[in-house]
């Protein structure tokens, strides 16, 4: 059997053979990220369901909501569990952007061990759709346990870690480094790990959601009109 496999040309195996120079084709479920430029670079064109998506960020930066919210609001049912979040989520802002606040469940933890335990229990709950886990430190075997729980129960699992963890081993199917560009109001995404060839150039996403950007632009136009009117009154006086 082995001699037959060695002699058979690769095209005969079709989709069963993945070439490292090509973007992987997955039969597993995915959920669109809501960002077309990111979907185009991910196997299955979205966040993997039943696997870890690891998002790395620099100290003091919190871009997770602007990155994940478009996908989370597409999951119209089930709880979104936040484990070990560094700040209490500002529910009115999330609700204004389409995420039902009643679906949010915030779990406060004191240690990494508690966070890992709480995240695993949440993944096992039938009423949970997605888990967001903020974790500073973890061993590879602990993350593999979470990966298995997400896979067995077919849940979305987003792991938020500091950028310093980039050099550590991770079983995550997808790893991204998100960097906020304060001078250009954009979010740069470096794809560190995916089933496919390395992506040398970062993806650039608008830092503000389209709906929020439109509201701010509209508000700016209104205030500019008010300013012009006041200027005219002052000149007349």
Q: What Å distances lie between residue 173 and 43, 54, 185, 208, CA to CA?
A: 10, 8, 28, 27
What are the sequence ranges of the domains in the chain?
A: 27-217
The predicted pLDDT at position 181 comes to 83
Segment 110-167, tens digit of pLDDT: 999 999 999 999 999 999 999 999 999 899 999 999 999 999 999 999 999 999 999 8
Q: Reply yes or no on whether the pLDDT at 15 is more than 90.
A: no
pLDDT at 46: 96
* Environment class of 145 (CB within 10 Å of its CB; exposed 0-12, middle 13-18, buried 19+): middle
CATH topology of domain 27-217: Rossmann fold (3.40.50)
Average pLDDT over every residue of 166-193: 90
The alpha carbon of residue 16 and the mean position of all alpha carbons in its chain are separated, in whole angstroms, by 28
Q: pLDDT category, 14, cuts 50, 70, 90?
A: low
- 3-class SS string, the chain: CHHHHHHCCHHHHHHHCCCCCCCCCCCCCEECCCCHHHHCCCHHHCEECCEEEEEEECCCCCCHHHHHHHHHCCCCCCEEEEECCCCCCCHHHHHHCCCCHHHEEEECCCCHHHHHHHHHHHHCCCCEEEEEEECCCCCHHHHHHHHHHHHHHCCEEEEEEEHHHHHCCCCCCEEEEEEEECCCCEEEEEEEECCCCCCCCCEEEECCCHHHHHHHHHHHHHHHHHHHHHHHHHHHC
Average pLDDT, the chain: 84
Lowest mean pLDDT among 28-42, 178-192, 200-214: 200-214
Q: Measured in whole angstroms, how far is the alpha carbon of residue 9 from the centre of its chain? A: 39
pTM of the model: 0.79
* pLDDT per residue as tens digits for the range 16-58: 554 555 555 666 799 999 999 999 999 999 999 999 999 999 9
């Amino acid at each position: 059997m082995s001699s037959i496999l060695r002699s058979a040309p690769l095209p005969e195996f079709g989709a069963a053979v993945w070439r490292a120079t090509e973007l992987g084709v997955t039969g597993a479920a995915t959920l669109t990220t809501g960002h077309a430029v990111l979907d185009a670079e991910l196997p299955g064109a979205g966040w993997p369901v039943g696997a870890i998506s690891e998002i790395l960020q620099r100290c003091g930066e919190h871009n997770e909501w602007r990155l994940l919210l478009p996908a989370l609001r597409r999951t119209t049912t089930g709880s979104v569990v936040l484990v070990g979040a560094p700040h209490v989520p500002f529910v009115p802002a999330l609700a204004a952007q389409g995420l039902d606040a009643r679906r949010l469940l915030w779990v406060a933890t004191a240690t990494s061990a508690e966070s890992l335990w709480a995240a695993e229990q949440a993944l096992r709950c039938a009423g949970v759709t997605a888990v967001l886990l903020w974790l500073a430190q973890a061993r590879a075997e602990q993350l593999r346990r979470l990966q298995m729980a997400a896979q067995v129960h077919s849940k979305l699992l987003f792991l938020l870690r500091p950028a310093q963890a980039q050099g550590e081993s991770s079983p995550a199917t997808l790893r991204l480094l998100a960097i906020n560009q304060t001078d250009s109001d954009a979010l740069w995404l470096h794809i560190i790990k995916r089933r496919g060839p390395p992506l040398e150039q970062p993806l650039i996403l608008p830092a503000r959601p389209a709906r929020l950007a439109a509201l701010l632009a509209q508000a700016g136009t209104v205030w500019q009109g008010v300013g012009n009117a006041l200027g005219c009154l002052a000149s007349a006086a």
